[in-house]
Amino acid sequence: MSGLYLVRVGSGARLTQALEKALGGMQVQALAPERIAQGAAGKRLIFAVALDEYGPDGQFTALLRALRQNPGCLAGCCGALIVDGGGELYTKQAAQELALAANMAGCAFMGKPLVEGTASLYNQHILAKQLSLDWYETYVYQIGRLAARLASFTQPKFAAPRLLMLHASSNRRSNTVWLGRETLARLPGRITTQEICLQNGAIYDCRGCSYDACAHFAESSTCFYGGALSDEVLPAIRESDALLLLCPNYNDAVSANITALFNRLTSLLVKQDLFDKYLFGIVVSGYSGSDLVARQLLGAMCLNKTAMLPPNFCLMQTAHDAGTAQHLPGVDGVLDAFAAHIQTVLLQ
């Protein structure tokens, strides 16, 4: 894979200055966003997006459309994201949209691949205090660190990977669970698989303990609220090399128990991050909106919780009535291809 390439979208004086300071000593070449479909494959891409107070502009939309119209144009790429906001809103929305579009075009993302700066840069204040820097200096520091991580990042392979499938449905008629189990059944024996159901009542949501309290219990690999998550789920995540999350669309969002899992992962991350673990997903919508759920999934687990995002991380299907998924046109080929993709990502 080649050196770093900077894809600038939008114009903003603060972002220009921050990039010059953070990347000044690195070998970074410019890649125009309009060339993304022809000249990006195999490169390490830093997407640097400047928003005004109203959010993404036409150039950003044009980039999304180019990525969506050219599946595979980012094959072999690994990406990182910098989003500079003209207001306090829209930075994460833009990052999630761009991450999903790039991922569906073949781009992988290392864990926590986003640096965002809201207009006030207040979102930098906690790290700034830890580093004894002002908010802008912290922003520049984070951009430089992100670029350095991307430059040295390699996607791991495993001789005998362990894949953990998590879902929140005990319904045997679930389309999502059927797709997940069929995927696991197609994986070779070298991949060890485990399935855990986050059943109703088994996963209590995070109650917002102080960081010190969370860190105290994390030292014992547990959480103040204990239960199945501390006893079974977190240890299984800790021992896995890849996660497969099954996410039926509930009102254009993941289910309550999956959300609770996102929130409770803080107690794991205090002691152990997820940088060395891949994230895969299966999203099923009864009518529409699978992209919304996929963006929420990658936003929580990759942009925030540090899991790696392999290219084409998510299988998205539309199926409403029980058993519909089994009769979708070409479903066997879709499942064969998704399982083969997981195998390609994981195995040496």
pLDDT at 196 over 50: yes
pLDDT at 202 over 80: no
Q: What average pLDDT does range 221-239 have in this prediction? A: 78
Q: What average pLDDT does range 294-310 have in this prediction? A: 98
* DSSP helix/strand/coil, 306: coil
- DSSP structure string for 15-84: HHHHHHHHHTTS-EEE--GGGHHHH-TT-EEEEEEE-BTTB--HHHHHHHHHHHHSTTTTTT-EEEEEEE
Size of the chain in residues: 348
Which of these, 201, 291, 286, 194, lies nearest to 237 by C-alpha position? Answer: 194
> Taking each helix axis from N to C terminus, what angle separates 91-104 and 290-298, rounded to the nearest 10 degrees?
110
Assess contact for 315 and 338: CB atoms under 8 A: yes
Q: pTM for the full model?
A: 0.93
Assess contact for 229 and 264: CB atoms under 8 A: yes
Assess contact for 241 and 191: CB atoms under 8 A: no
* DSSP helix/strand/coil, 337: helix
Dihedral pair phi/psi, residue 243, rounded to 5°? -115, 140
Q: What is the pLDDT of residue 220?
A: 59
| pLDDT one-digit tens code per residue, 114-163 | 999 999 999 999 999 999 999 999 999 999 999 999 999 999 999 999 99
Assess contact for 192 and 161: CB atoms under 8 A: yes
Dihedral pair phi/psi, residue 108, rounded to 5°? -90, 160
CA atoms 100, 102, 103, 105: torsion sign: positive
203: left (phi over 0), alpha (psi -120 to 50) or beta: beta
Could you give the CA distance from residue 328 to residue 135 in angstroms, rounded to a whole number?
51
For residue 300, what pLDDT band results from cuts at 50, 70 and 90? very high
Say if strands 278-285 and 242-248 run parallel, antiparallel, or are unpaired. parallel
| pLDDT one-digit tens code per residue, 236-261 | 999 999 999 999 999 999 999 999 99
Could you give the CA distance from residue 45 to residue 108 in angstroms, rounded to a whole number?
10
Amino acid type, 77: C
Q: Which helix (H) or strand (E) holds 48?
A: strand 44-50
Instruction: Provide the percentage of residues in the chain whose pLDDT is more than 90.
Output: 85
Amino acid type, 99: A
- DSSP structure string for 4-18: EEEEEES--HHHHHH
Which of these, 253, 273, 292, 252, lies nearest to 110 by C-alpha position? Answer: 273
